[in-house]
Amino acid sequence: METYESLLTAITPPAGTATRPILNPATGGTVTAAPVHTVEDLEAAVEAARAAQPSWAALSHQERSQVLLDTADAIDRSAEALAQLLSREQGKPLNGPNARFEVGACSAWLRATASIELAPEVVVDDGETYAEVHYRPVGVVGAIGPWNWPMMIAIWQIAPSLRMGNTVVLKPSEYTPLSVLALAVVMNQVLPEGLLTVIAGGQEVGARLASHPAVGKVMFTGSTETGKAIVRSSADTVKRLTLELGGNDAAIVLPDADPRAIAQDLFWGAFINTGQTCAAIKRLYVHADIYDAVCDALTDVALATPMGIGTDEQNLLGPLQNKQQYDIVARLVDAAKESGAKVLVGGNPDPRQPGYFYPTTLVADIGNDNPLVAEEQFGPALPIIRYTNLDEAIELANGLDAGLGASVWSSDRKQAHRIAERLQAGSVWINAHGRINPMVPFGGTKQSGYGLEFGVAGLKALGVPQVISG
């Protein structure tokens, strides 16, 4: 079992290694120094992964699954230390759907992935022809992770890759390398050597990972622009890709919904991780008949939800993780205010407060073409758009290039399902938003990316299909 202090020691770079300080976004203080790995470090990691992969792939699915289960147990034993580090580096509070939740999700996801059955598929058996599909390992998987859910999304990439017999070289975000380095320290207490290596480098390391001829697949979660760059970098080696890119998720509330009954779920659908979630509600369309009631109910929830330093046990919302994201949120809210939109709560950051705290902000009476609606804010600011015609609301919801998630809120589930079928998003939830499940495929449409994660589909995406006939 690791303690917070022992984790810091374990991820401390050796003497002579280039480092840079990682700051706590809630206080501005230094958490510790992170290594600055180089392209040469990446080359060594890829070579080690390539050397380790054949013996790992030679094990059965059941044997590899047992290793994943043992690794999940190791994470559980060090869960509190990992959560403490995550809270300090990323900024998210310990409690609520935040740091402790994220670490718990890591072990739970490993166990769920280990339990998925993936037998050969018989596609023809007519007495004359017999054919079945098998899935073989890709080889070395390159994973590139984000800063918003650094540990959990790393596991989304690692777990199915290892289960399928691949090895993994992972580059975390430059904003949150410590969390992923520490997670790897814990996992590598169980995993055979060479299976998982974290390279905490910069943009040049990511570009080389995406173009490396020994890397058979790249998994990436992050911005659409970076995803496009990865597509370009991977083209010469015709890599397989899974890209989960930016989202600007719409939620449509029908006039038969109960504002008070849905307020909590609506709020957390938008503000989980202080709004720093790809598949969070970014645009809320509410029918005019209940518009004011929904605004009032959401305001009450916002005022009752504490924001502050993540390691203070009472807080449920934290800071923006970095100044760049803080500036984006501030710019978009300012544009909304200048347009005449009505700020129901928030929108007034305290310049004297340390850290990147932006108050929980709800903006009403706003036009659909306002930048706060049209651009992904990725923070604690939610525009609430009034509509009267449902067809027009669906058209507005579908009007952007993003298509990661969406949701419909109604007391009539059949009607909600009919509307869901008309929404252009990879996942559509009914009376919820962003509730992912390790057995349910997840992926985007349009410029929110392509490829599926989770469940059987996610395992297949980490394999190479081979058809055997005869």
Q: What is the CATH number of the domain that holds 134?
A: 3.40.605.10
The reply to whether 358 falls in a domain is: yes
User: Which among 2, 89, 102, 244 is annotated as catalytic?
Assistant: 244
The model's confidence at residue 136, banded by pLDDT at 50, 70 and 90, is very high
The reply to whether 227 and 320 lie within a common domain is no
φ/ψ (deg, to 5) at 14: -60, 155
**Same domain, residue pair 90 and 216:** yes
278 in catalytic set: yes
Q: Are residues 239 and 323 in the same domain?
A: no
Distance CA 358, CA 405 (A): 24
The mean pLDDT value of the chain amounts to 97
Query: Which residues on adjacent β-strands are paired with residue 405?
Result: 427
Please tell me the predicted confidence (pLDDT) of residue 1. Answer: 85
Number of structural domains in the chain:
2
pLDDT at 442: 98
User: In one letter, which amino acid is 11?
Assistant: I
Indicate which residue of 89, 174, 278, 376 is catalytic. Answer: 278
Query: Is residue 47 domain-resident?
Result: yes
The pLDDT of residue 394 is 98
443 in a domain, yes or no?
Answer: no
Average pLDDT rounded to a whole number, residues 5-16: 93
216, 105: one domain: yes
**In this model, does residue 289 exceed pLDDT 90?**
yes
State which residues form the domain around 154: 4-245+448-469
Q: Is residue 437 part of a domain?
A: no
Rounded CA gap, 280 and 433, in Å?
Answer: 7
Residue type, 401: D
Residue 16 is predicted with a pLDDT of: 87
345 domain residue, yes or no: yes
pLDDT at 262 over 90: yes
**Residue 213's pLDDT band (cuts 50, 70, 90):** very high
pLDDT, one tens digit per residue, over 321-330 is 999 999 999 9
- Does a structural domain hold residue 440? no
Claim to verify: residue 324 and residue 231 sit in the same structural domain = no
264 and 179 part of one domain: no
Q: What CATH number did the domain enclosing 282 receive?
A: 3.40.309.10
Distance from C-alpha of 384 to C-alpha of 366, rounded to nearest angstrom: 7
Do both 155 and 67 map to the same domain?
yes
Same domain for 422 and 385: yes
Known catalytic membership, residue 295: no
435 inside domain = no
Structure tokens at 91: 């900024």
**Do 233 and 255 fall within a single domain?**
no
Find tokens 């299909």 and name the residue.
465
Mean pLDDT of 270-296: 98
pLDDT at 288: 98
Q: Do 264 and 235 belong together in one domain? A: no
Residue 108 falls inside a structural domain: yes
Asked if the model's pLDDT at residue 470 lies above 90, the reply is no
Same domain membership, residue 332 and residue 191:
no
Are 132 and 220 in a shared domain?
yes
